[in-house]
Amino acid sequence: MPGRDAPRVPSRSGEAGVDDPKTNWKAKAADAVARAKQFEEQARHEAKRAEKYRQAAERMEKRTASLEELVARLKVVERELAVAREHLMAVEVKLDILEGAANVLDLRTRIAIHETSETGASA
Amino acid sequence: MPAPDSPFLTLVLTGRNDSYGGDFTDRFFRTLRFNLRELQARGTSYELAFVEWAPPAGAPLLFDQVFAAVPELDLQRCSWYVVDECYQRALSLNPHLEYLEFLAKNIGIRRARGEFVLVSNCDVFLGRRVLDVLQQRALDRGSLYRAPRHDLKLAVDPSRIDWELLEDPRNLAGPAHVLKPPYMGSATGDFVLLDRQSFHRIRGFNEIYRVARIGIDRNLLVKVLSSGLSIVDIGGPVYHVNHLGSYRLQPAAYAGREEQAHWGDRRWHQAGPSYINPDTWGLAEAPVQQRGGASYLTFDWCAVPPLVDLHRVVRPVARVGHPTPGRYVSKR
């Protein structure tokens, strides 16, 4: 059994032994600092991502608002288009009637003129 | 309120002795016999309102032949109108159009006495379900009833029409038509059934657009929906034996020269605008002479509506729960 003041045996690799409190504390501190740096780095990274997401969310919000506006405008345009088509159909139907009337009157006039000229010729 | 002696049904038909489709007179008499027999067998109270539109000079009137050929027809239950051919020429807005069929039908609708008015065609056989509904009087006012048309093959022998022949699916020329809501269109002119009051409220078929015959029946459906009435499938078919000259067999006969078709240009906006017929619809002011049991509508310019009356072409009224009219289709 080793005595109380027996010297510490260095490890085979020459490093301080794990049970050396000073070395252990330093290693732990270095490790903690490294980890802190790592966390800081990670925090900065996450903050950047959060900012990116915030900006994306803002953009999406704006897009959603403009899309909703667009949908509302489309509905109005759709209604207006339907009304315009109804008007167009009515106008084309009226044009058909006018064209038909013109054809009929043209025919009647030609017949009347023909009959008049025939009567005139025979007189 | 209908008059106490008024029939439950007025059957409105129009035709003339012009050999339409080859053997029009035979087809008409055969169909009329079948339909009258079936109506009578079921005890359905009816009158026939027949409009002999612009009969050709020199050919005997259908009126002069029908009672001998159709013994089931009783003059007491028949109103026969012979319309001066001058009306066709005075009213037409299309020199190619030979027959203003729906104006003729309006004459019958306007003068119908029945509680309900069935507008059909001379070669349409009423189906069993239709006859049953008429017998049971299971009809609502304010509803326009439609029936799908089953076309029978050209090869079917029309001289031996009976239920077996009509209802045999092997005799069908192609798949049976199915009526699609909301318009329930397709061969509309073959079966339109509506109470007389509603028919008079909407003033019959379109009399403003006298450029085509085709599609005027379809246009009635726009008017009906626009007027707040509903369109209902009666639940069974009517039958039609295909014949030469039928639009159904040659819809593209005038492809590329539609304006020359004797039924008019089928591309007009029949499912678009609505119309408001004048008070005088159905040639209400035409002078009438009674001769030998028929009413002769003699020609008078006073009875003829103006050639052009554009304010009577109107946009249909959108009704809550009802469809909007047809889509715009470019003609040219």
Q: What is the pLDDT of residue B263?
A: 85
Q: What is the pLDDT of residue B149?
A: 93
Q: What is the pLDDT of residue A1?
A: 44
Instruction: Find the mean pLDDT for residues B222-250.
Output: 86
Which residue from A86, A88, A92 is facing B325, i.e. has the nearest CB? A86
How many residues make up chain A in this entry? 123
Within a 10 A sphere around the Cβ of B240, how many other Cβ atoms? 23
- DSSP letter at B172 equals B
- Which residue has tokens 């038509």? B177
Q: A7 has which bridge partners? A: none
Which of B38, B83, B37, B88 shows the shortest CA–CA distance to B62? B83
pLDDT digits (tens, 9 = 90+) for B43-97: 999 999 999 999 999 899 999 999 999 999 999 999 999 999 999 999 999 999 9
- B86 chain-A contacts, CB cut-off 8 A: none
The answer to whether residue A71 neighbours chain B at the CB level (below 8 Å) is no
Interface test with A, best of B91, B301, B307 (most A CBs within 10 A): B307
Task: Determine whether the interchain pair B308/A89 forms a contact, defined as Cβ–Cβ distance below 8 Å.
Answer: no
Each residue of A47-66: b (16+ CB within 10 Å) or e? eeeeeeeeeeeeeeeeeeee
Return the H-helix or E-strand segment holding B88. Answer: helix B86-91
Q: What is the pLDDT of residue B289?
A: 98
Global ipTM: 0.90
Task: Determine whether the interchain pair B316/A86 forms a contact, defined as Cβ–Cβ distance below 8 Å.
Answer: yes
Pair B322, B274: CB distance under 8 Å: no
Q: How far separated are the first and last CA of chain A, in Å rounded? A: 162
- B318 chain-A contacts, CB cut-off 8 A: none
Nearest CA in chain B to A88: B328
Which residue from A82, A97, A99 is facing B324, i.e. has the nearest CB? A82
- Which residue has tokens 């909407």? B202
The answer to whether residue A104 neighbours chain B at the CB level (below 8 Å) is yes
CA atoms within 13 A on the CB side of B118: 30
How many residues make up chain B in this entry? 332
Which residues 6+ apart lie within 8 Å of B289 measured at CB? B295, B296, B298
Interface of chain B toward chain A, CB-CB under 8 angstroms: 92-95, 208-211, 265, 268-269, 272-273, 307-308, 310, 313-316, 324-325, 327-328, 331
- Which residue has tokens 């809550």? B320
Task: Determine whether the interchain pair A104/B315 forms a contact, defined as Cβ–Cβ distance below 8 Å.
Answer: no
CA atoms within 13 A on the CB side of A95: 9
Of all residues in chain B, the percent with pLDDT exceeding 70 is: 93
Q: What is the DSSP secondary-structure string of B28-62?
A: HHHHHHHHHHHHHHTT--EEEEEEEESPPTTSPPS
Q: Which residue has the higher pLDDT, A83 or A70?
A: A70
Pair B145, B193: CB distance under 8 Å: yes
**Quick one: pLDDT band at residue B156, thresholds 50, 70, 90?**
confident
Q: What is the pLDDT of residue B321?
A: 64
Chain A: closest CA distance from residue B222 (Å)? 12
Which residue from A89, A103, A104 is facing B269, i.e. has the nearest CB? A89
Pair B266, B255: CB distance under 8 Å: no
pLDDT digits (tens, 9 = 90+) for B241-264: 887 766 666 777 788 787 788 888
- Which residue has tokens 């049971």? B136
Nearest CA in chain B to A95: B310
- B269 chain-A contacts, CB cut-off 8 A: 89-90, 92-93
pLDDT digits (tens, 9 = 90+) for A27-69: 999 999 999 999 999 999 999 999 999 999 999 999 999 999 9
Give the distance from CA B208 to its chain's centroid.
17
Query: How many Cβ pairs closer than 8 A exist between chain A and B?
Result: 66
